[in-house]
Amino acid sequence: MPQQTSSPLPAATAVVLVAAGSGQRLGRGIPKARVLCAGRTLLEHALDGILAARVAVSVVVVLPADDAVLTAVVDRLAAGAGGTRVSSVVGGGTRTASVRAGLAAVPESAAVVLVHDAARALTPPGVFRRVAAAVAAGAEAVVPVLPVVDTVKIVTGTVVTSTPDRTTLRAVQTPQGFATASLRAAHLAVPATSDAVTDDAMLMEARGADVHVVDGDALAFKVTAPLDLLVAEAVLAQRDAPGSAPLPT
Ligand code: CTP
Ligand code: MG
């Protein structure tokens, strides 16, 4: 009898990969998803992780308008994606608008959807599997988290007003996973122009849903500023060096 190495995911899962941002803080003058890291675009690295996880029947990539380079990247990776359908749509002026454009292209048959930032380009496949499995097992919303290592202060103006108990704080990453119908409904409740919505789990919390946590991974860090890109280059140099061991994270 063939050995089963991982339990099958019962629910059809789609991934919305948001890559339509302009990358202002990276300061390269081109969309962040198009920036090269170890010779490949951040979008290619992000799609590699999703396809390696083998959780998705459909991946909807949300791109800046009229981006021939990124459209070609998606088309090329789509051709080698095996049983996963990879398509692209054009995003909007806020992350929320871009997620919404992606959600609209998620097939009705996908009961589970993962929303992922292309900027978290080195997210290991295991994070996608953990999040997808937790939603498939019945959670309405799931986020990958890490402990917070800094002491965090609440500040009003220039004065510290309090210090939350660090043991209760978590830093939240993507992919975030949801029952697709619930996330569609949650998005209907906010204007797509809102900059205050920094992740999708917030919308579920506002609806009173329980948002569950699973372990994140340090390698799922977001490439935001130039220093993050240096770190990503170093990670890839180490990962791709002959005979190198996996990075402990
Ligand atoms: N994003 C998007 N559409 C937008 C804004 C952001 O699809 N209108 C995506 C980005 O491409 C990124 C993710 O949301 O993968 C997280 O956003 P962020 O890291 O802030 O990326 P940018 O908005 O591109 O960067 P910046 O805020 O520095 O301009
Ligand atoms: Mg942004």
CATH code, domain with 189: 3.90.550.10
Ligand 1 contact via 95 beta carbon (within 6 Å): yes
Q: Given this model, what pLDDT does residue 4 score?
A: 45
Residue 245 within a domain: no
Ligand 1 contact via 222 beta carbon (within 6 Å): yes
Which letter, b or e, does each residue of 110-135 get, where b requires 16 or more Cβ atoms within 10 Å of its Cβ? bebbbbbbbbbbbbbebbbbbbbbbb
Q: Does the structure show a pLDDT above 90 at 244?
A: no
Out of 176-180, 220-224, 243-247, least confident range: 243-247
Residue range 12-19: average pLDDT? 98
Residue 4 within a domain: no
Ligand 1 contact via 23 beta carbon (within 6 Å): yes
CA proximity to 14, closest of 79, 90, 88, 85: 85
Distance CA 246, CA 117 (A): 23
Residue whose Cα lies nearest atom 13 of ligand 1: it is: 117
**What is the whole-number distance in angstroms between the Cα of residue 56 and the centre of ligand 1?**
22
Residue 206 within a domain: yes
| Domain coverage including residue 147 | 13-240
**What is the pTM assigned to this prediction?**
0.94
- Supply the mean pLDDT for the chain: 94
Q: Does the structure show a pLDDT above 50 at 3?
A: no
Residue range 72-80: average pLDDT? 95
Cβ atoms within 10 A of the Cβ of 9, count?
A: 18
Hey, what amino acid is at 195?
D
Find the radius of gyration of the CA atoms of the chain.
18
Mutate to test the pocket of ligand 1, among 22, 44, 174 (most ligand atoms within 8 A of CB): 22
Q: Does the structure show a pLDDT above 60 at 73?
A: yes
Look at 116 and 188; give whichever has higher pLDDT.
116
Q: Given this model, what pLDDT does residue 2 score?
A: 44
pLDDT tens column, 102-159: 999 999 999 999 999 999 999 999 999 999 999 999 999 999 999 999 999 999 999 9
Q: Given this model, what pLDDT does residue 125 score?
A: 97
Q: Does the structure show a pLDDT above 80 at 203?
A: yes
Q: Does the structure show a pLDDT above 80 at 245?
A: no
Residue 21 within a domain: yes
Residue 246 within a domain: no
The pLDDT confidence band at residue 88, using thresholds 50, 70 and 90, is: very high
The total number of structural domains in the chain stands at 1
Least distant ligand from the CA of 119: 1
Residue 8 within a domain: no
Q: Does the structure show a pLDDT above 60 at 1?
A: no
What are 71's two structure tokens? Answer: 């459209």
CA proximity to 123, closest of 175, 167, 169: 175
Distance CA 65, CA 191 (A): 21
Out of 64-73, 191-200, 206-215, least confident range: 191-200
Q: What is the DSSP letter of 9?
A: P
Distance CA 56, CA 75 (A): 17
Q: Are strands 36-37 and 40-41 parallel, antiparallel or unpaired?
A: antiparallel
Q: Does the structure show a pLDDT above 90 at 97?
A: yes
pLDDT tens column, 150-181: 999 999 999 999 999 999 999 999 999 999 99
Ligand 1 contact via 28 beta carbon (within 6 Å): no
Residue 3 within a domain: no
Residue 72 within a domain: yes
What are 220's two structure tokens? Answer: 């799922």
Residue 168 CB burial class (10 angstroms; 0-12, 13-18, ≥19): exposed
CA atoms within 13 A on the CB side of 152: 12
What H or E segment, with its residue span, contains residue 229? helix 226-240
Q: Given this model, what pLDDT does residue 241 score?
A: 87
